[in-house]
Structure 1
Amino acid sequence: MSELNIALALIGGTVLITGLVSRPLNRSILSLPLLAFLLGVLAGPVLGWLHPASWGHEMKILEEVARVSLGVSLMGIALRLPPRFVFDRVRALTAILVLGMPLMWIISSGLALGFLDVALMTALMLGASVCPTDPVVSSSIVTGGVANENLPGRFRHTLSAEAALNDGLALPLVMLPILLIKSSDTALQEWLVHVLGWQVLGGVAIGSMLGYLAGKALRAAEARDLIDQPSFLVTTLALTLLALGGAKLLGTDSILAVFVTGIAFDQQVGGKDRSEESEIQEAVNMFLTLPVFMLVGLMIPWSDWLSLGWAGLGLALAILVLRRLPVILLLRPAVRPWRDLPVAFLAGWFGPIGVAAVFYSMLVYRETGNETVWVGASLLMAASLVVHGMTAAPIAKYFGRRYGKR
C-alpha cells in the first residue's frame, strides 16, 4: 500500500508541476517525457522507493499501460490534424509508410545484427520494434508555442500523421519474425491472412465504422438536446477506450483502430466542437503518457545495458543517425510536404523512439520470451528521449530564425 501511495503522489505531483510550468519547459532542452523518465529512474533504481517486480507481472503491466497511452495519444493526433489532412496527403503518407517503414526496419535490423551478438530473428524483431515514430516524444516538435511559432504546418501535421499510422502499421513487421520463429512452414500464410488480412484491415474497418457511427450518434444527440456539456467533453476519451478494448477483443490491431476511429469521428464534428474535444484529449494525453515514461524509468535493465558495453553505445548512435535520416532524404521527391531540403533534414532527424518501442518489445516478450529485444529497445528509447528531447526546442528555434515558417 505504501508503494501505491508513493506512486500516486509521484504521478500527481509530476503532472501538476510540469503542467504549471509547461510553457517554459517546452521552450527548454528538457522535454516532459524526459523529465518523467528521469524521475522514474530516481524513484526506482537510484532511491529504491518503488519496485515494479512486486506489483505482479511487470512486463504485462508495462505492455497494457503503453497500449492505453498510445491509444490516447493517437486519438489526440486524429483530433489535432486538419479534418481532411490524411486524405489530402495520402500520396506522401503512402510513400513514407509503404517504402520508408520497411527501409527503416531493414536498416535498424542490420545495425542491431552488426553491433550486437544476436540471431537474425532477434535483430529483425528489435528493428521492427524501434521502427515507429513515437507520437508522444515527437509532440515536443509538433505542438506548443515553439513549434507553432517556428515550424511549417505541413511538416508538423505530416510528422504527426506518420507517427500515428506507423505505430499501428508496425505490427506486421513485428509479427513476421515472430511467426517465422513459431512455425516457419505456415508463417507467410498466417502473416498474410491473419496479420494483414484481419488484424490490420480488420482494425481499419472496425475503426472506420465505430468512428462514423459515434459521430452520427453525437450529432443526433445534439440535435435532440440529449447531451450536456460535461458528457460531450468526455466523448472522445470514452471512444478511445471503446476502440482499444473492442478492437482487441475482436483480435485486430487496436492501436491502428483507435487512430482510424478518431479520423472517422473527426469527419462528423467540427468548429467549436472539434476544438473542445481536442483540448480535453490533449489534457488526458498528458496525464496518462507521463506515467508511462516514469514506469519505463523504474524498469530499465541497467545490468543488461552495461553488459552490452561499447556495442550498446555504438548501436544507439548508429540508430539515431542512420535509422531515419537517409530514408527521408531518399524519399524526399515523393513526399511533397517535406520536399524542401531543410524541412527534409528536420523530418529526418525528428523521428523519436518511445512508447511504441516499449509496447512492441513487450509484445515480443509475451509471444517469444525474448528479453533481448526489451533490453535493446529500452536502451534506444532512452537514448532517443535524451537526444531528441534536448534538441527539439533549440533546432526548432534555429529553423525559425534561419528559414521562418515557409
Structure 2
Amino acid sequence: MGLDLLSPARWGNPELIMEEAFRITLAIAVMGISLRLPRAFIRREWRTLAILLGVLMPLTALVSGAIAFGVLELSLLAALLFGATVTPTDPVVASSIVNGSAAKKNLSPNVRYLISAEAGSNDGLAYLLVMLPVLFMTRSGDSAVGVWLLDIFLWKILGAIVLGVIIGAVAGRLLHHAEDRHSIEKSSFLAYTLALTLLVLGGAMLIGVEEILAVFVAGVAFDQFVGAQERAAEKNVQEAVNSFFTLPAFTLFGLVIPWDEWLRLGWTGLLVVVAVLLFRRLPVLLLLYRLSPSLGWRDAWLIGWFGPLGIGALFYTTLVVGYIDEGALIWTLTSMVVFASVLVHGLTASPLARRYGRAVA
C-alpha cells in the first residue's frame, strides 16, 4: 500500500473482490476446523455449544451494537448491523491461537475444541443476526419478519444444514467404499476434502442456502465415515490449504485498510474498538458459564477473551455494506476492530495460555 504497487481498486470492484476472496478463505477454514474436531465432540458438548451459539452470540451482537450506538452517531439499525458483523469469532485466527505449541501444551483439548467449534459454526449462523437489521432497513416490519423466518431461517440456515449433511455423508461413504475396494490411492485423498469444500460451497450458492454453514456441517458429516489414518491426512492437507488461502486474504485486507477514515474517527473510533474487545464477550460469558456442565470460571475467562475477529467479520461487512447509507462507516469500524483483534489476540494468545496452564496445573 505504501509503494502503491498493488491496488485492489484497479482490479475491479474492491467490495466484490474482498467478498469472494473472504468467502473461499472462510470455507476452507471451517472445513479444516470440522475435520479436526473429535467425532463425538458436538454431540457430547451440545449444551455448551448451545449456550455459546444460542445465547452468547446474540448477546454479543447486542452489546457491540449498543457500544457503537452510544458512542457514535449511528442509527439504531445500523448499530445493530455493526454489532452483528463483529459477532462471529474467526476460524482463521482461532486456528492459529488453539493450534500453537503454547496452546497444545497449556490448554486442555476440550477448551481448544470448544473455541474451534464455536468459531467454525458461528460464522454461518451469524447470517441470521446480520440479515435481520438489513431486512428492517429495506422492508416494512411485518414483511421483514416474514422474510427472515421463511427465507433466512427456514431455507438458508436449515437448508444449509440439510445440504451439508447429505453431501458430507455421501462423500464420506463414497470414500470409505473406495478404500474398502482398494480403488483409491492414499495420495488421491489429499485433494478430496478440498474438492468437497468447493463442491458444497458452489452447490450452496447455486441453490441459495448459507454456504459457510453448509461447508462446516458437511465437514462434520464427512468426518463420521473416515478412519484415524485418513483424519491425519486431512489435518495435514487442510493446514497447508488454510495457509495457502489465509495469507493472501489477510494481505488483501492490509491493502484495503481505510487509514484516512480511521484517522477521521479519531478517539471515538478507538473508544469503540477498545470497548468492543473488552465487553462484547467476556462479561456475558462470565455470567453464563455456570449453565454449562463443562466450563469452569477459568475456562470462561479464557474463552470469553479469545473471541478473535478476522475474515468472518470482514466477509459479512462486505456482504451488506451496499445496503445502507451508513455502510461506509460500518466498514471503517469493523476494519478497525478486526485490525485490533488480530494484533491483541495474537499477542496475548501464548502468554495467557501459559498463565492458564499454570493456574490449572
Number of residue pairs matched by the alignment: 359
Match of 1:52 in 2: 8
- Is 1:84–2:46 an aligned residue pair? no
* Greater Cα offset, 317-326 or 341-350: 341-350
1:87-98 to structure 2, matched below 5 A, reads 87-98=43-54
1:216 counterpart (164, 173, 194): 173
Task: Report if aligned partners of 1:140, 1:392 keep a CA contact under 8 Å in 2.
Answer: no
| Cα distance in 2 between the residues matched to 1:141 and 1:365 | 29
Please state how far the C-alpha of 1:261 moved relative to its aligned partner. 0.2
What secondary structure does 2:92 align onto? Answer: coil
* 2:277 aligned with 1:328: no
Matches for 1:152-191 after TM superposition, within 5 Å: 152-185=108-141, 186-191=143-148
Give 1:109's aligned residue.
65
* Residues 141, 396 of structure 1: 8 Å contact kept: no
Unaligned runs of 5+ in 2: none
Equivalent-residue separation in structure 1 for 2:94 and 2:294 (angstroms)? 17
Query: Retained in 2: the 8 A contact 1:93–1:158?
Result: yes
Determine the structure 2 residue equivalent to 1:37.
none
Encode CA deviations 1:207-244: one digit per residue, 9 max, x unaligned.
00000000011111112222122221110010001111
Q: Where do residues 350-389 of structure 1 align in structure 2 (5 Å cutoff)? A: 350-368=306-324, 370-389=327-346
The CA RMSD measured in Å over matched residues stands at: 1.1
- Note the C-alpha offset of 1:327: 1.2
Tell me the CA shift for residue 84 of structure 1. Answer: 1.0
Match among 63, 66, 70 for residue 26 of structure 2: 70
Q: 1:188-267 counterparts in 2 under 5 A? A: 188-267=145-224
Confirm whether residue 341 of structure 1 aligns to residue 297 of structure 2.
yes
How many Å apart are 1:96 and its aligned residue?
Answer: 1.1
Deviates more, 1:115-124 or 1:224-233: 224-233
Alignment match of 2:270 (pick from 281, 297, 313): 313
Write the mapping of 1:263-302 to structure 2, written as runs, cut at 5 A.
263-302=220-259
Q: Deviations over 1:225-284 (max 9, x none)?
A: 221222211100100011111101110000000000000000011210111112101110
Q: How does 1:137-156 map to 2 (within 5 A)?
A: 137-156=93-112
Could you say what secondary structure the match of 1:309 adopts? Answer: helix
Cα distance between partner residues in 2 of 1:169 and 1:216: 27
Q: Which sections of structure 1, spanning at least 5 residues, go unmatched?
A: 1-43
Check conservation: 1:140, 1:147, Cα contact below 8 A.
no
**1:351 alignment partner, SS class:** coil
